[in-house]
Amino acid sequence: MDSFPGPALALVERLRAAAAADPARAIALQGAPGANSHRAAQEYAPDALPLPCFSFEDAIDAVKQERAGRAIIPIENSQNGRVADIHFLLPESGLSIVGEYFMPIRHALMGMGAGPFRAAYSHPQALGQSRFFLRERGIVPLAFSDTAAAAAHVAELGDPALAAIAPELAAELYGLTVAEHGVEDAHDNMTRFVVLAREPLRPADLAGQATVTTFVFEVKNIPAALYKAMGGFATNGVNMTKLESYQQGASFSATMFYADIIGAPGDPAVDRALEELAFHSKHVRMLGTYRQGRPRG
């Protein structure tokens, strides 16, 4: 699927050609060159070949189809919550989480000149992270597929009243002028990315390292099932750092849960907690065990 603006297409094709020549080194990402995912890929794996994809699904498919060895996907932001719906994308993909990366997010307002600007294009996450900045200046937020593609779109339109909110790299790539730096509302703005691959890491190979294990589960439809399922983590001293619920299907009768815990299968305490979870659940699906990108707690 190709829906990138014209100014981005030449860069996209160049990066895709390099990735196609060495797919094992390729790391798929959602967004045009210059997007935050592009920067995250370069920082997480400097020797990898970035493979721009239009959507999160396209990035996952690139790994499934062996056009890339890995994908890097943003899943949550400290200021604006969930990014990619990894709950729906990952369990059915057959891929595993093999790493995580935390990246500070800095946004810039850019356009054909220094403004004033009537409207600003960007990804909904970036618009949400800059909503007070935009409101104070009377700039209308306009949603676009990703931050860097928004910058390319503004360059393509050539209207000096239109701006984009994107990383500063996008201004360099698409010939725009940065009107203001650091337009995010919170300067501790942080996004967590996960790295996906076809094969999971073996927990035994991570022995002695600080690890995270991610899984999804559905509890039995009986009173206090979630309470009982969670009890094993408390009694075994296993720290659960994330628990989110989401609906499976349209019946609203089956609630799924997405969880992160500190530790790995093979640790007796983790094994006991997961065994108790399985007893109170209809099913549990492991999504991966991987090194912590930053300490919890």
Confidence of residue 37 (pLDDT cuts 50, 70, 90): very high
Sequence-separated contacts (24+) of 80-83 with Cβ below 8 Å: 80/125, 80/128, 80/129, 82/244, 83/125, 83/191
Q: Of 70, 127, 132, 74, give the one whose Cα is nearest residue 102.
A: 74
**Domains identified in the chain and CATH numbers:** 7-105+190-197 (3.40.190.10), 108-181 (3.40.190.10), 203-291 (3.30.70.260)
Confidence of residue 84 (pLDDT cuts 50, 70, 90): low
Q: Is the pLDDT of residue 81 over 80?
A: no
Confidence of residue 90 (pLDDT cuts 50, 70, 90): confident
Confidence of residue 254 (pLDDT cuts 50, 70, 90): low
Q: What is the mean pLDDT of residues 120-140?
A: 95
Beta bridge partners of 102: 192
Q: Of 115, 162, 168, 164, give the one whose Cα is nearest residue 144.
A: 164
Q: Would you tell me the crossing angle of helices 268-279 and 225-235 to the nearest 10 degrees?
A: 170
* Averaged confidence pLDDT in the chain: 92
Give residue 251's pLDDT: 60
Catalytic residue chosen out of the listed positions 54, 56, 193, 233 = 193
Q: How far apart are CA 115 and CA 183, in angstroms?
A: 14
Task: Give pLDDT tens digits for 170-201.
Answer: 999 999 999 999 999 988 889 999 999 999 99
Catalytic residue chosen out of the listed positions 147, 191, 211, 214 = 191
Cis before residue 116, ω within 30 degrees of 0?
A: yes
Q: Is the pLDDT of residue 98 over 80?
A: yes
Mean pLDDT check: name the lowest of 132-141, 170-179, 245-254. Answer: 245-254
Give residue 253's pLDDT: 64
Confidence of residue 79 (pLDDT cuts 50, 70, 90): confident
Beta bridge partners of 181: 108
Q: What is the mean pLDDT of residues 130-149?
A: 95
Portion of the chain with pLDDT greater than 70, in percent: 97
Q: What is the mean pLDDT of residues 232-238?
A: 96
Give residue 86's pLDDT: 75
Beta bridge partners of 51: 28
What are the structure tokens assigned to 269, written together? 């305490």
Q: Is the pLDDT of residue 287 over 80?
A: yes
Give residue 1's pLDDT: 40
User: Active-site residue 252, yes or no?
Assistant: no
What b/e readout covers 191-227, taking b as 16+ CB neighbours within 10 angstroms?
A: bbbbbbbeeebebeebeeeebbbbbbbbbeeeeebbe
Give residue 262's pLDDT: 97
Q: Is the pLDDT of residue 248 over 80?
A: no
Give residue 297's pLDDT: 66
Give residue 241's pLDDT: 95
Q: Look at the alpha carbons of 204, 87, 150, 124 in this order and tell me if their dihedral is positive or negative.
A: negative
Would you call 289 exposed, middle or buried from its count of C-beta atoms within 10 A (0-12, 13-18, 19+)?
A: buried
User: Active-site residue 214, yes or no?
Assistant: no
Note whether 6 and 149 are within 8 A (CB).
no
Beta bridge partners of 120: 141, 163
Confidence of residue 246 (pLDDT cuts 50, 70, 90): confident
Q: Is the pLDDT of residue 99 over 70?
A: yes
Beta bridge partners of 283: 218
